[in-house]
Amino acid sequence: MAQFIIKRLIQSVIVIFIVSIFTFLLTYLMPGDPVYAMLGGDITQEQYDIAYKEMGLDKPIFIRYVNWCGNILEGDFGKSYKYRMPVIDLIKERLPITMYFGVLSIIISTTLGIILGILSATKRGKLTDTIITLLANLGAVMPLFWLAVLGMSLFAMQLKWLPSYGFTFPTDNFVTSVKQTILPLFALSVGAIAGTTRQMRSSMLEVIRQDYIRTARAKGVKESKVISGHALKNALIPIVTLTGMSFRNVVSGSTSVEIIFSIAGTGQLLVSSVLSKDVATTQACILIVAVVVSIANLIVDISYGYIDPRIRIQ
């Protein structure tokens, strides 16, 4: 198992390294001039030349990349031109908010998806199965941003039950936090719940057709024991992989949700930094997201190895 973990860890490091190269190169290919983005357009040529040199833009791109990586390893992501503060402070402020919604969404979607998938599979062909399958199919095709706008329009604008913007951590004000979390979490979770439900139903139907399940039933084992003790573990194997994919989708989807609900998370920070040509912040946001997703995938791979010993052997 140790070799399996080391192998996955090395792969994650390689992925992050490749992402860092593309991130560094692409941010400098974006339209606009980072010097004018930092100082504004009304500057003299002398001021421009000084800033150009201070930003290291006069050096070869390879040297700039090496220096950038060295600074990152020391915890220095540079300074944000737009927010006039160290990028690392912005990340520390924004990342916990995005992670809060991401982790909550994964927990809720995985739990509900597994329950609904099992219920649908065990009630195959009945009304319960039909309703769950229909709702899962609907949830799978609904765009995330449309769900966010729909929820805001109905529950915030018309019924005025919930706030339409902002975020407060539960430790600061629990009631306000719950109210502000419901709509964004709903938009983030619907698609993931639908995907997990469909996958769990398909996986469970495949497992309960196996000979060992028939044998257990023939021996008079209770149906609840057959499902929970024999079928569930094997049916969960594809769900572990799907959870990693769902986390990536949630992280990417959080950008639109944060913009719609005016939540000061990493996604909103990334969009604003791209639009304002804030190179240092853009690079940091993309790299941090890549690291978070790589860690999530590593955890999923390790969990997969524990659940299915064949993976460790391979």
Q: pLDDT at residue 112 above 90?
A: yes
Mean pLDDT across the stretch 200-208?
Answer: 87
Q: What's the whole-number mean pLDDT along residues 67-86?
A: 86
51, two tokens: 């800033």
Across 25-43, average pLDDT: 72
Asked if pLDDT for residue 291 goes beyond 90, the answer is no
Task: Answer whether residue 23 shows pLDDT above 60.
Answer: yes
pLDDT at 198: 92
When pLDDT is cut at 50, 70 and 90, the band that residue 127 belongs to is very high
**Can you give the pLDDT at residue 172?**
87
d(CA 179, CA 174): 9
Mean pLDDT within 75-79: 85
pLDDT of residue 137: 92
Average pLDDT over residues 20-24: 87
Which band of pLDDT confidence, cut at 50, 70 and 90, is reported for residue 310? low
SS3 124: coil
CA 280 to chain centre: 22
- Structural domain 88-313, CATH architecture: Orthogonal Bundle (1.10)
pLDDT by residue (tens digit) across 265-277?
888 998 888 888 8
**89 — pLDDT class (breaks 50, 70, 90):** very high
234: tokens are: 């094997």
The two beta strands, 85-86 and 79-80, are antiparallel
Output the pLDDT for position 182: 93
Q: Which range in 104-113, 211-220, 287-296 is most confidently predicted, on average pLDDT?
A: 104-113
214-243: average pLDDT: 79
**Does the model's pTM come out above 0.95?**
no
Mean pLDDT for the stretch of residues 151-159:
90
Exposed/middle/buried for residue 72 (C-beta within 10 Å: 0-12, 13-18, 19+): middle
Quick one: pLDDT at residue 27?
75
What angle in degrees, to the nearest 10, is found between the helix axes of 2-29 and 61-73?
130
Q: pLDDT tens-digit profile of 219-232?
A: 777 877 777 777 77
| H-assigned helices in the chain | 2-29, 34-39, 45-54, 61-73, 87-122, 127-141, 144-151, 174-207, 211-218, 223-225, 232-235, 237-260, 266-275, 279-307, 309-313
Per-residue pLDDT reduced to its tens digit, 254-266: 888 999 998 988 8
Percent of the chain past pLDDT 70, that is, above it, reads: 94
Q: Please give the pLDDT value at position 1.
A: 66
Q: Which of 7-21, 219-233, 294-308 reaches the highest mean pLDDT?
A: 7-21
pLDDT of residue 314 exceeding 60: no
Task: Tell me the mean pLDDT in the region 54-77.
Answer: 83
